Chains A and B, each alone.
Chain A
């Protein structure tokens, strides 16, 4: 698969070329910033071949460091990320993510940590040869009104090739909605210790 780095594709001035990642830039916009809004909220948000989605939530507890630590253990992610079936740690900052595709199949992505600032930033990138060319970053910062702002940004190249239809379909499942839902579930789990459901019974819960 042809890999173009985001920074090569974007052409914006503020990019930090860490791990080839545009996401690591503070306020990345496709073309010179017209305002202070995050680049991904632009009406046209494409960075070269990459589609970028991102969402922010504010989480009141626990502390920023504890939120960071929970996220940094990637095996915790499937607890609140709906599409994520399993994460295996492979050592050496690498992990294998098994992602559920619609229709029952799964897709596997091997990632490595592209950047880590304790208590603040975790960024990951798919390694060469993964089914999906993707990059993600979560940033934790103190919210002005208390609590922690957690910002999740994901970039990906809509894939072709061997992963085929399933992946394409998976990515059409509105990654922006997925990111928002995942973040909200993360907030629920952190603030309340559980994820809200209106199911009346356990079995139906598991079926759903």
Chain B
């Protein structure tokens, strides 16, 4: 089959690799119909996530048709499914608590040790996201092997719901939702969201649905900010405006009740700190750039809530720990517990309460994936979200 493989820093290529097979009894094989490139993939692309090996198939946002099932899969051939990027067994202590992204049983035992050393606990398996999280082949491919196929995949019965409407159930829609849930939004809240990428946009949309009075989205890309405005959010361009001052003024002088960092470890910006962190990342010292996060901590009101859906992989320097403690900020974060939200969000999509298609800027054949990565990286304003269609003529 054809699949998008990692070769090195900013070097990905569509190669021919062996088709996947059923390996474990609960597996299914999915033929991919749509698969997206995510902001998280850019962290891999830029080489800031450890343990990505040449030849690894990337991609964790995908859907398609079931073509093969293991003896213990509950799926049937021909079913249309969206697959969560988090691989979860459904039976362990963490899955029992609906903390699916903490699943104990999805990351192969020998691969657990890397993350255990780095983080103190072993991480769950994720599709196409380095060997820290299992080294599972991803879905930017024609076919993918899906373990625990009886737990994760969401069956889409209604063929009237086309791929573009439901694909994002695999990651960014639940991620935006959980980001807002982690911010414990109450009606009347002023909420600030850093990053008008897919995650930030869905977080803003979710916050509004949850009753926030004002949602303010911060970025520097005009087109992305326009999308935020289209959702009913207000916008702040950090290149033109003093963000902290603006947020204070837009929240009655108190600071936002809740802040969401939907930027993650590759924040843009020209503060001294951030430039230093960029330099460190370039020489491979492994510092996460966290300028958006630092700004969010200073901006939030005392006793406010901080939610971090943005991905961080290692250490960061000069973290404003004093502000976090002295202001009494509540902090919640994590890889998304996708399986916890899919049914609820699917129902909201079917009822027309949530639209996800506004995000998609480009639909490309799988063969154009490498070019897609480069454009998503270098032309973020125009390329808000790329969906690859393996079946599409190139």
Contacts and interface: CB of A to CB of B under 8 A. Distances in A.
A46 B332 CA distance: 42
Contact of B105 (A145, A187, A198): A187
A58 to B, nearest CB: 6
B109 A184 contact: yes
Contact of A196 (B19, B21, B107): B107
Given A196-B134, A200-B145, A201-B23, A187 B92 contact: yes
A194 B25 contact: yes
Interface in B94-142: 96, 104-113, 125, 134-137
B24 interface: yes
B270 interface: no
Residue with the greatest number of chain A CB neighbours at <10 A, chosen from B21, B72, B93, B96: B93
B91 A202 contact: no
Nearest to B96: A60
Contacts of B19: 201
A181 B113 CA distance: 9
B124 to A, nearest CB: 10
Given A184-B109, A188-B109, A200-B145, A194 B26 contact: yes
B23 A199 contact: yes
B17 to A, nearest CB: 8
Nearest to B72: A193
Q: Which of A185, A192, A194, A196 has the most CB of B within 10 A?
A: A196
Contacts of B136: 198
A59 B136 CA distance: 24
B105 A200 contact: no
Interface in A164-202: 177, 181, 184-185, 187-188, 191-202
B25 A196 contact: no
Contacts of B23: 197, 199-202, 205
Nearest to A194: B24
A147 interface: yes
B109 A181 contact: yes
A195 B112 CA distance: 13
A196 B137 contact: no
Name, among A60, A177, A194, the residue most crowded by chain B CB atoms within 10 Å (CB to CB): A194
B322 interface: no
Contacts of B252: none
Contacts of A185: 109
A202 B21 contact: yes
Contacts of A162: none
B39 interface: no
B91 A60 contact: yes
Nearest to A181: B109
A56 B366 CA distance: 45
A193 B113 contact: no
A170 to B, nearest CB: 17
B125 A196 contact: yes
A82 to B, nearest CB: 9
A61 interface: yes
Contact of A201 (B18, B89, B92, B93): B18
Contact of A198 (B93, B104, B108, B113): B108
Interface in B13-38: 18-26
A145 B92 CA distance: 13
B119 to A, nearest CB: 16
Given A188-B105, A194-B24, 17 more contacts: A60-B96, A145-B93, A184-B109, A185-B109, A188-B89, A191-B92, A192-B26, A192-B91, A192-B105, A193-B25, A193-B26, A194-B26, A194-B72, A195-B108, A196-B108, A198-B134, A200-B145
Interface of A: 58, 60-61, 145-147, 177, 181, 184-185, 187-188, 191-202, 205
